[in-house]
Amino acid sequence: MPAGVVSLDYFILGLLAQQPMSGYDIKRFLKGLNWLIGSPSGGSLYPILRTLLEKDLVTVEVVPGVDRPPRKIYSITESGRQALQVWVEEPVATNAPLKAFAMRLLIADSYSHASLLAYLQLRQSQVTAHHTALTERAGSQHPDEGASLGKQLALSYGLAVAQAELDWLEGTLAWLSGEPLPEGDRQSTGAASLD
Amino acid sequence: MPAGVVSLDYFILGLLAQQPMSGYDIKRFLKGLNWLIGSPSGGSLYPILRTLLEKDLVTVEVVPGVDRPPRKIYSITESGRQALQVWVEEPVATNAPLKAFAMRLLIADSYSHASLLAYLQLRQSQVTAHHTALTERAGSQHPDEGASLGKQLALSYGLAVAQAELDWLEGTLAWLSGEPLPEGDRQSTGAASLD
DNA sequence: ACACTCATGTAAGCTGTTACATGATTAA
DNA sequence: TTAATCATGTAACAGCTTACATGAGTGT
């Protein structure tokens, strides 16, 4: 059962798929990504971890710390990976906030190389359709009795962002296809992910 | 007292500043902008109109319709315009969803020409700073023990979107500055900006 | 008969926030 | 002593959504 548009819960599950972490670890990690997706408050983060646990999507291990509070390290389970896979492959709405797409990018390591490419191509076709629709709408406006200034600005703004995303997708797909990363060679790129 | 990040209430107030409308009018108008900002449900729209009324930011006039239900037409008041001006000039956070900025674009007709330019320039300086920070962060990552694939993708994605917004801002500012639009001559400019 | 547009509204619920509470350890 | 970091959590509320309720007219 997916939740809201943004689904912080599944995103957090995705982070735990990359490596086991405590709630505090997640907080610090997301603070570093504040510019992109914002960081959730403790008031949402800790309850989410509890519900993930109740649904058996994660397990906990309490690690007592020397000279500091004990930490609860959460690890994803096999049924958690299955649930994640479903979420990770479902497309985000084109009018959803960018962070909804960015969150799926951030857990790209949870994808196989092939399914990451497929997902980006799916996004590409969506945004292309979106862009085409906007272009038509822009063309259909007669200059004389045309839209208000506000609508014009919004439309050209929307087009610019969509175009930028298309360019980025094209470049990224080319890059990922050009370097097809042999199986099992991925952890060499991933070590210091928590700064 | 501003509300959440997105402040649907002020945005609706801004729409009513452009022309008096009923709740249903607003719904239809925003349905046409679904691709950009999404359209609010009746469950949020109508309560917002009531609170705007209670704060004396708008007035109502019930217009009985021939062969259809009566409509409640809302008009902005003078104190409503003052409240709107405050909201309209406050900058949106760089990590806020794009719709937060797009909403302010959509009610551009509520701005004077000068204050619209000022607002776009403010946004320009914000996004420039943001872009610079991201570029530095990108440069500080060594490719070898660098960030995970997900972080790399997210960073380049964020940079691409920021760059696109900067380009759009530059072009739009040039366009708006180049045609300083003598008073009341705005509807003649039309769709030239939209290709 | 059924469904759709017009038009307004309420009730319940979901997702997230802020602010608070706890308690230990370290740095100014 | 005051504050900050580490670490987890609760309670209250804000902002929205879905689903429902109402009721008239219009179209198939």
Contact A106 B150 (CB under 8 A): yes
pLDDT of residue B180: 63
Q: What local confidence, expressed as pLDDT, does residue A33 receive?
A: 94
- Distance, in Å, from the CA atom of B104 to the CA atom of B91, rounded to the nearest integer, reads 10
Q: What is the pLDDT of residue B193?
A: 37
Task: Tell me the pLDDT band of B195, cut-offs 50, 70 and 90.
Answer: very low
- Spell B44-75 as b/e; 16+ CB within 10 A means b: ebeebbeebeeeebbeeeeeeeeeeeebbbbe
* Structure confidence at residue B188 (pLDDT): 37
Which is higher by pLDDT, A189 or A113?
A113
Is the pLDDT at B171 greater than 70? The verdict is yes
Chain B neighbors of A94, CB-CB under 8 A:
35
Q: How far is CA B160 from CA A97, B138, B149, B156, B168, in A?
A: 16, 12, 16, 6, 12
Q: Is the pLDDT of residue B68 over 70?
A: yes
Residue B191 is predicted with a pLDDT of 38
B195 contacts on A by Cβ (under 8 Å): 138
pLDDT digits (tens, 9 = 90+) for A65-100: 888 889 999 999 999 999 999 999 899 999 999 999
Residues in A 14-33 whose C-beta is less than 7 A from nucleic strand D are 22-25, 27-28
Find the mean pLDDT for residues A163-190. 75
Whether residue B27 is predicted with pLDDT greater than 50 in this model: the reply is yes
Residue B31 and residue B41 in contact, taking contact as beta carbons nearer than 8 Å: no
pLDDT (tens digit, 9 = 90+) per residue, A136-159?
A: 988 876 554 567 999 999 999 999
**pTM, to two decimals:** 0.88
Distance (Å, whole) CA A190 – CA B54: 55
Cβ pairs bridging A and B (under 8 Å): 153
> Average pLDDT, whole number, for chain B?
88
pLDDT at A145: 55
H or E segment at B174?
helix B149-178
Nearest nucleotide over every DNA/RNA strand to the A11 CA, judged by C1': C15
A190 reaches B (C-beta below 8 A): yes
The pLDDT, as a whole number, for residue A181 is: 54
Residue type, B115: S
B184 CA – C15 C1', rounded, Å: 45
Contact between chains at A156 and B193 (C-beta distance less than 8 A): yes
Q: Is A158 on the interface with B (CB under 8 A)?
A: yes
Interchain CB contact of B108 with A (< 8 Å): yes
- Whether B187 has a pLDDT exceeding 50, the answer reads no
pLDDT at A189 over 80: no
* pLDDT at residue A178, rounded to an integer: 86
Rounded to the nearest angstrom, the gap between the alpha carbon of residue A88 and the centroid of all alpha carbons in its chain is 8
- Reply yes or no on whether the pLDDT at B144 is more than 90: no
Task: State which protein residues have CB closer than 7 Å to strand C.
Answer: A 3-4, 6-9, 38-44, 48, 67-69; B 22-25, 28, 42-43, 46-47, 49-50, 65, 68-69, 71-72
Compute CA distances B173 → B67, B152, B164, B165, B168, whole Å: 47, 31, 14, 12, 8
Q: Over pLDDT 90: what percentage of chain B? A: 76
User: Which residue does chain B place closest to A18, by CA atoms?
Assistant: B148
**Do B187 and A146 lie within an 8 Å CB cutoff?**
yes
Q: Straight-line distance from CA B4 to C1' C16, in Å? A: 11
CA distance A72 to chain B (A): 24
A90, A96, A99, A105 alpha-carbon torsion, rounded to 10° = 30
pLDDT at residue number B4: 59
Q: How confident is the model at residue B138 (pLDDT cuts 50, 70, 90)?
A: confident
| B19 pLDDT more than 60 | yes
Got the DSSP string for B85-96? HHHHHSPPPTTS
Q: Of the given ranges (A66-75, B35-44, B95-104, B135-144), which has the lowest mean pLDDT?
A: B135-144
Mean pLDDT lowest among A17-21, A190-194, B65-69, B119-123:
A190-194
